[in-house]
Amino acid sequence: MLKPYLAFAKKNFLNRSAYRFNHFIGIVNTLLRIFIFWCIYDALYGSRTEVDGITMAMVTTNFVLSIGMDAMFSIDDYYLSGRISNGSIANELLLPISFKGRMLFENLGNSMFQLVFHFVPALIVAALTVGFLPPVSLPMFLLFLISTILGYGVLWTISFAMQMFAFWLINVWSMVTIKNVFINVLSGSMIPLWFMPEWLKPVLDVLPFSSIYFTPVQIYLGQLTYGEIAYKCGIQGFWIVVIWLFGNLLWSRGKKKLVVQGG
C-alpha cells in the first residue's frame, strides 16, 4: 500500500541530488544563519555567562538545532496552489492514489535529502566552530528524535491546512507569509522562548508553534521531566490531529469549488 508513496519520496530525493551546486549553497545558507545568530547573541551576552539562568551555550544549542531543523523541515507551501494554477490538479485527482499522501511523501523525500546533505554537514561545522551542548543522556536524545518527528508533523499539517485555502484564493502567498511570521517568532527558532514575557509563556506552551522547534530543544537539553515530556508530546499529537482534521474539512469543501485554470 505504501509502495507508490515511497516511490514518490525516493524520486523527490533523487531529483534533489541532481543539483550539486544547490547542496553547497544550502549548507552555506544554513551556516550563515547560524553564524549571524551566534554573533547577535554573543554581542547581547557580552561578558556575562548567563541571563536569567540561560547560558550562552544553551542559546547556541537552541538556534543551531532550530535552524538545522528548519533547514530539514523544508516544506513546499505552494504544492497545491501551483497545481491548481497550471490545471494539473484535475488529472492528479483521477490517479488511484491519495493526493494528500503524495504531498506528504514527496515532502518526506525532500526532508530526508535536507537531513543528509544540509543539516548533518552544517551541524558538524557548527559543532567545530560556534559549539553547542551534547544531549544530556541517550534516553533524552531518543525522546528528542521522537519529538522532532512530531514537530515536523505539526509544521506539515499547518502548511497542509494553509494550502487548502488555494481552492478559494488561488494565490496563497499572503497566508503563507503570515504563517511563517508566526512560526519564526513563536516557535523559539528566532527568539528562544525562555526570553518571552512570563505572562505569554503559558499561552505559547499550548499553541502549536512552540511544539515545532522549542519542545524538541527543551528535551535535548534535559529541561523537562519525563512527565512533562509526555505532556508536551501529547500537545504535539493533539495539534497534529486537530489541524489535520481542519485541513481535511477544507479539502472536502474546496474540491467542490475547484475551478481549473489552464492545463
pLDDT for the residue numbered 160: 96
pLDDT at 1: 74
* CB within 8 Å of 21: residues ≥ 6 apart: none
* Residues of the chain below pLDDT 50: 263
Q: What is the pLDDT of residue 189?
A: 84
Tell me whether residue 263 is in a domain: no
Locate 254 and state its grid cell: 474546496
The answer to whether position 170 is within a domain reads yes
Say if 178 falls within a structural domain. Answer: yes
What domain range includes position 59? Answer: 3-256
Does 41 reside within a domain? yes
pTM, to two decimals: 0.92
- List, for residues 85-109, the tens digit of each pLDDT value: 888 888 888 888 899 999 999 999 9
pLDDT value, residue 29: 86
In this prediction, residue 261 carries a pLDDT of 55
In this structure, what DSSP letter does residue 200 have? Answer: T
Q: How far apart are the first and last CA of the chain?
A: 29
Q: What is the pLDDT of residue 236?
A: 97
- pLDDT at position 22: 78
194 DSSP 8-state letter: G
Kindly state whether residue 30 falls inside one of the protein's structural domains. Answer: yes
Count, in order, helices (H) and strands (E) of the chain: 14, 2
Dist CA 162 CA 173 (whole Å): 10
In 3D space, the residue among 118, 37, 8 whose CA is nearest the CA of residue 74 turns out to be 118
pLDDT digit string, tens, across residues 232-248: 999 999 999 999 999 99
Q: How crowded is residue 168: how many other Cβ atoms within 10 Å of its Cβ?
A: 11
**Residue 261 maps to a domain:** no
Q: How far apart are CA 259 and CA 169, in angstroms?
A: 11
Let me know if residue 56 belongs to a domain: yes
Q: How high is the pLDDT of residue 100?
A: 92
Q: Quote the number of domains for the chain.
A: 1
In a domain, 262, yes or no: no
